[in-house]
Amino acid sequence: MVSIELKGIITKVYGRNLFTYTLHDGNLATEFLCTQFFQPGESVNVLCRSEEKFGRTVLIAEKIEKCNDIYSEIEQKIGQNAKLFALLSDSELKIMGSDFEKIARKLYAAQQLERFIVVKFHGDADGISAALILKKFLKANYFQQNAAIYSVGDAIKDIEKIGQYFRPLLIMVDFGSGEDSSRGLALAKAGEIELISIDHHPPSEFSVLSFALSLNPWNAGYEDGSKYPTGFLCAMLANMFGIDSEGFEKIACAGDKSTILSISNEEKNKALVLDFAATYSGFGNGIDFYLQVLSKNELFNSMLMQANVKLEEADRILKNNIKSRSTQNIEIFWFNLDSVAEKKEFPNKGKITGRVFDLVNSNKPVAVIGISKKTLIFRFNDIAVSKGIRTDEIIKQMKNNFSDFIENGGGHAYAAALRIKDPTTYSNCLLKFPKFQEGFENIALEEIIKIITAY
Ligand SMILES: [Mn+2]
């Protein structure tokens, strides 16, 4: 009789009275049988004997006991064993090489250890494309996140649902980096959910504290990290595993208007259809729906047609409603979003603001502001940004000047959004500033124009 000693993490268990376990020791996964019950994720020491059973050799535990938690040790060993391809040496993101490698090794180990992995992806063309690329090499539960913010409510739901699994891993794709997500993130972390961020939105110092790892070009000191969409980052990650991203990163670029890759009309249409489909798709939707949309010709074409009809309708209303003011430094355009945008309908406020931007953009500095009762949306051109007139800067100043009325806000240098509270609900404020009766959005607009023209 041969005795074998094993030490590692239990990754799988099934059976009833006689349990079949899979144990990973960092190099190998081994199966053994045992009558005692242990949870997946537990660190154990096992002494097994090998026996001929059911026509094959099986290992049966003679002695088994829990040992000190050796999870990190095993995770590291497995991660080191991952066979990865190096990032392309001519890649612009080469200086992020070690960030890519750390994430790749962590994901590989998580997968080998059968951890419970959840991928939450932003519900737009970039977020969806990124998740579709991840799905090619990462077995996980994929859920759509419609808001760009990871709220306290999101965190509590996650702790309730996924916190019960052993070492749950939550990957935030294309959202959750802003300061407005920091409280939700801190809560999820405290709830023992390990958090990974793959994103290209400027990260706030408070959010970063909650991430075990993050893959974000801003962290590597790029002046404009936003121009590398999340789908592009995921494609590079896939390549490290030798997986072909099949061009989804181009759809991501089309969706986020990034010019780092050349984009065909077909890819633009795909991005449009994904944005269209995501608008109508409920919270918590999985990812398979989008694969169907992209692969079924008739469905795809019908959605493309409807999206274009909606955009043309929006253009018609917008053309007569754009107001503008020119100064020496910049041309400012604004328009009322509420006249076009309908709740939960395509195009959403961000997309509409993008349309107006395309209509008025020129080779001079241009700032476009979409105004609605609760939200202000900004889209500035790169000439404005190069002069330091950045949407994220405007938002920072607005947060300072009107801290009582700004609910949250954030975004990239070229595009950002600000949510405002209704000041008419503050009676004190109305006494102090009777002008607020006319609507805060107008006062906010005046203030923003003041800030922009001061540059
Ligand atoms: Mn994006």
Rounded distance from Cα 250 to ligand 1 centre (Å): 12
Rounded distance from Cα 261 to ligand 1 centre (Å): 14
CA dihedral 278, 280, 281, 282 (to 10 degrees): 130
Span 402-408, average pLDDT:
80
What is the Cα–Cα distance from 447 to 16, expressed in whole angstroms?
68
What pLDDT digit, counting tens, does each position of 44-93 carry? 999 999 998 878 999 999 999 999 999 999 999 999 999 999 887 667 88
Q: Band the pLDDT of 343: cuts 50, 70, 90.
A: confident
Residue 106 token pair:
């962590």
Q: What pTM, to 2 d.p., does this model score?
A: 0.91
Rounded distance from Cα 6 to ligand 1 centre (Å): 45
Rounded distance from Cα 148 to ligand 1 centre (Å): 10
Rounded distance from Cα 34 to ligand 1 centre (Å): 48
Q: Band the pLDDT of 105: cuts 50, 70, 90.
A: very high
Rounded distance from Cα 173 to ligand 1 centre (Å): 9
What is the Cα–Cα distance from 398 to 143, expressed in whole angstroms?
33
Contact 168, 118 (CB under 8 A): yes
What pLDDT digit, counting tens, does each position of 358-399 carry? 999 999 999 999 998 888 999 999 999 999 999 988 988 888
* pLDDT higher at 400 or 151: 151
Rounded distance from Cα 230 to ligand 1 centre (Å): 5
Contact 125, 255 (CB under 8 A): yes
What pLDDT digit, counting tens, does each position of 215-243 carry? 999 998 888 899 999 999 999 999 999 99
What is the Cα–Cα distance from 409 to 416, expressed in whole angstroms?
7
Rounded distance from Cα 176 to ligand 1 centre (Å): 11
The pLDDT value given to residue 112:
96
Rounded distance from Cα 201 to ligand 1 centre (Å): 7
Span 107-118, average pLDDT:
96
- Give residue 370's identity as a one-letter amino acid code: G
Rounded distance from Cα 127 to ligand 1 centre (Å): 6
Q: Band the pLDDT of 404: cuts 50, 70, 90.
A: confident
What is the Cα–Cα distance from 43 to 31, expressed in whole angstroms?
15
Rounded distance from Cα 174 to ligand 1 centre (Å): 5
Rounded distance from Cα 367 to ligand 1 centre (Å): 20
Rounded distance from Cα 328 to ligand 1 centre (Å): 33
Rounded distance from Cα 360 to ligand 1 centre (Å): 23
Beta strands 415-420 and 406-411: pairing type? Answer: antiparallel
Rounded distance from Cα 56 to ligand 1 centre (Å): 52
Q: What is the mean pLDDT of the chain?
A: 91
Q: Is the pLDDT of residue 425 over 70?
A: no
Strands (DSSP E) found in 276-423: 323-326, 331-336, 366-371, 375-380, 406-411, 415-420
Rounded distance from Cα 252 to ligand 1 centre (Å): 7
Residue 184 token pair:
């939700």
Rounded distance from Cα 124 to ligand 1 centre (Å): 8
Burial of 103 (0-12, 13-18, 19+ CB in 10 A): buried
What pLDDT digit, counting tens, does each position of 17-50 carry? 999 999 999 999 999 999 999 999 999 999 999 9
Rounded distance from Cα 200 to ligand 1 centre (Å): 6
CA nearest neighbour of 158 among 9, 283, 289: 283
Rounded distance from Cα 188 to ligand 1 centre (Å): 22
What is the Cα–Cα distance from 360 to 134, expressed in whole angstroms?
37
Rounded distance from Cα 395 to ligand 1 centre (Å): 19
The pLDDT value given to residue 301:
97
Rounded distance from Cα 289 to ligand 1 centre (Å): 20
Q: Band the pLDDT of 164: cuts 50, 70, 90.
A: confident
Q: Band the pLDDT of 277: cuts 50, 70, 90.
A: very high
User: Which residues, 6 or more positions from 314, have their beta carbon under 8 angstroms from its beta carbon?
Assistant: 340, 347, 352, 355
Structural domains of the chain sorted by starting position, each given as residue range(s) with its CATH number in brackets? 3-70 (2.40.50.140), 82-295 (3.90.1640.30), 312-453 (3.10.310)
End-to-end CA distance of the chain: 83
Rounded distance from Cα 187 to ligand 1 centre (Å): 24
Q: Is the dihedral of CA 394, 215, 195, 140 positive or negative?
A: positive
Rounded distance from Cα 126 to ligand 1 centre (Å): 5
Span 239-266, average pLDDT:
96
Give Cα separations from 395 to 68, 217, 359 (angstroms). Answer: 49, 21, 24
What is the Cα–Cα distance from 100 to 250, expressed in whole angstroms?
20
Q: Is the pLDDT of residue 275 over 60?
A: yes
Rounded distance from Cα 379 to ligand 1 centre (Å): 15
Rounded distance from Cα 424 to ligand 1 centre (Å): 34
Rounded distance from Cα 436 to ligand 1 centre (Å): 35
> Read out DSSP for 402-433?
TTTTEEEEEE-SSEEEEEE--GGG-HHHHHH-
What is the Cα–Cα distance from 145 to 305, expressed in whole angstroms?
25
Contact 173, 131 (CB under 8 A): yes
What is the Cα–Cα distance from 438 to 426, expressed in whole angstroms?
14
What is the Cα–Cα distance from 90 to 93, expressed in whole angstroms?
9
